[in-house]
Amino acid sequence: TFDVTVMEIGGRDFVALATDGDVHLGGRDWDQRLVDHVAEQFIRQHGLDPREDPNTYGRLWRECEDAKRTLSARQKASIACDYRGFAARVEIDRATFHELTQDLLDRTAFTTKQTLQASGLEWNDIDRVLLVGGSTRMPAVPEMLRQLTGKEPDASISPDEAVAHGAALHAGILLSQFEGKSPQFRIRNVNSHSLGVVATDSVTKRPRTAVLIPRNTTLPVTAKRVFKTQKAGQLSIRVQIVEGESASPDDCVQLGKCSVRDLPADLPAQTPIEVRFHYEENGRLTVKVQVAGTGAELEHEIARENSLTTEQLDIWRQYISGVAPIVREAHG
């Protein structure tokens, strides 16, 4: 993935002003361009596509991944490919690699500019451009940032280790909080994408995204909106939770859904429905729905990908305090 954050640091406070990213853009995309380039050369020479065989494809991918790293330090790299008794060795230079991946770099630059704009700042307001992640070792990345920002990117922290350092510092904050101590510094994050529900447009009668928590809202946050039933005698209400910036729900990520059932048969049209979101810094989203005048309500927690459940969090808290051992799940 690709992520960019604008952060303000003052004293003990680290405050995220804006964050954005592209979950469909990462180092593997650069690898894929090399794989496809070598495969096309192989097809021209031998009329066979090495990507058709999973084992050959895997070997080729590793060769291309190594070549990408080589091109970060040298001007040229060589990639070998063997398939069905035929062999090819493709030489590639850094300029060709940049040409093959220029559109990926353009997407990176676009997202970076969008994030700065969302923060309300200009490049002159930025003091430091910090490189994080192994892909920033590719010479094209810091060069793009130099041209875009007018600043020299900061590589004083190892890009490969920066995330691990950050995770360790964050763990220290959590441990201090658990022990009732004051952490050495405080971090305030923002949500990277807007959160909302699917509603019906009163004019077009078509589904649309109704945002409750806009992108780049400081976390934790609680927000609510009131909607209305569409018809009399509506026996159930389904709430679809989505994430994204598009007005069309089809172009947003579907996070989950919940339903309020067994509503009174005489429920009038235009009955108010209050939808409340509570979004925490750890990515846990709690949705509460209340139907006015009926006593009907529900509370639903969205299990975000890569976030821990309440039970898992409790286990880790006990482990930190030395109360319980960690039990790993066995996988056959």
For 53, 98, 200, 236, the CA distances from 81, given in Å and listed in that order, are: 12, 21, 54, 59
Give, in order, the Cα–Cα distances in Å from 132 to each of 5, 10, 19. Answer: 11, 21, 14
Helix (H) or strand (E) holding 154: none
pLDDT in tens, the chain (332 residues): 899 999 999 988 999 999 998 878 999 999 999 999 999 999 999 999 999 999 999 999 999 999 999 999 999 999 999 999 999 999 999 999 999 999 999 999 999 999 999 999 999 999 999 999 989 999 999 999 999 999 999 988 898 899 899 889 888 888 888 888 888 888 889 998 999 999 999 889 899 999 999 999 999 999 999 999 989 999 999 999 999 999 999 999 999 999 999 999 999 999 999 999 999 988 899 999 999 999 999 999 986 655 555 666 666 656 655 555 544 444 43
> For residues 220 and 218, what is the distance between their CA atoms, to the nearest angstrom?
6
Q: How many CB atoms sit inside 10 A of residue 232's CB?
A: 12
> Cβ distance 70 to 94 under 8 Å?
no
Check residue 225 and give left, alpha or beta (phi > 0: left; psi -120 to 50: alpha). Answer: beta
Copy the structure tokens of residue 55: 């084992």
Distance CA 330, CA 179 (A): 31
Domains, in order of start, for the chain: 1-188 (3.90.640.10), 195-310 (2.60.34.10)
Confirm if 101 and 48 have CB atoms less than 8 A apart: no
C-alpha distances (whole Å) from 292 to each of 72, 239, 296, 297, 308 are 61, 15, 8, 9, 33
Cα of 106 vs its chain's centroid, Å: 19
Specify whether the backbone of 256 is left (phi greater than 0), alpha (psi in -120 to 50) or beta: left
